[in-house]
Amino acid sequence: MKLLISNDDGVSALGIRTLANSLAEAGHDVTVVCPDRERSATGHGLTLHQPIRAEIVESIFHPNVKAWACDGTPSDCVKLALWALLESPPDLVLSGINQGANLGTEILYSGTVSAAMEGIIEGLPSIAFSLASHTYKDFQAAARFAQILVAQLAVKPLPELMLLNVNIPPVKWEEIAGVAIARQGVRRYVDVFDKRVDPRGKTYYWLTGEVLEDIEPPEGLNLPQNIPIDVHVIRKNYISITPLQYNLTYASGIDQLAEWEFKFK
């Protein structure tokens, strides 16, 4: 398959090198277009007020991988690849492997998920891969599952246009309990800002916080309650796969708001 790979951890990140190299070794046609530095938590930001530059990258990836490093956001990278750098569209857009989970509401901030979402916006099926740890450095199990999933999609494509948000537990391949199709959970933070004072006596704030995961998604989202939540299955060493779309319309809200009456006179 022809694959476009991006990320938000930057061109030097071990995750993207492991993903791109393993898929190239599996015989896929792999192109990498990713940020030239870490651009985590940039969401779906685009660069509008300055030019975007991209340079060919050599000797970092497998010899069969074509690679560019871009000074824009993850979404910039995918958009630039699809509209300027690639001669023809890829079969799949992949993002990752991210260092750290993208679960629950974190996907709204994630540059990893946003890079994959850019593929969906352009009509291409996409996958975001994340390793659910900020410290665990072994990406081999995640890359092995990526090979399996891409091979499966080559034989049996997705029935509809969607983004698969895939989170892999930070354990060896032999310790993975299985694969679970999961719904998006909720991750919220408490004590979000740490207030500090610099050497000149000026106050500043450092974004931090403790994560809360045991929160059920709001009711009324028309989600099947018998489907497990992504933040729960990861704890049990299952690979979590959640299908996503970019349309954020609140279906039940339409029915509720239809009862409103507005008087202009």
Cross-strand bridge partners of residue 243: 164
* Average pLDDT of the chain to the nearest whole number: 89
Residue 215 has pLDDT above 60, yes or no: no
| 132 or 48: which leads in pLDDT | 132
Q: Give the H or E element holding residue 152.
A: helix 140-155
- Residue ranges of domains in the chain, CATH in brackets: 2-183+225-247 (3.40.1210.10), 186-215 (no CATH)
Burial state string for 13-49 with b = 16 or more CB within 10 A and e = fewer than 16 = bebbbbbbbbbbeeebebbbbbbbebbbebbbeeeee
Q: Which residue has the tokens 């593929």?
A: 119
Per-residue pLDDT of 3-56, as tens digits, reads 999 998 999 999 999 999 999 999 999 999 999 888 876 777 787 888 889 999
- Band of residue 213 on the pLDDT scale cut at 50, 70, 90: low
Q: What is residue 48's predicted lDDT score, i.e. its pLDDT?
A: 84
Would you say how long the chain is, in residues? Answer: 265
Q: What is the pLDDT of residue 265?
A: 73
Give 155's pLDDT tier (boundaries 50, 70, 90): very high
Q: Residue 217: what pLDDT?
A: 58
C-alpha distances out from residue 256 to 73, 125, 222, 244, Å: 37, 32, 14, 24
Query: Among candidates 2, 19, 3, 22, which has minimal Cα distance to 11?
Result: 19
- Looking at residue 219, its pLDDT comes to 59
Check residue 83 and report its DSSP letter.
I
* 206 vs 231: CA distance, rounded Å: 25
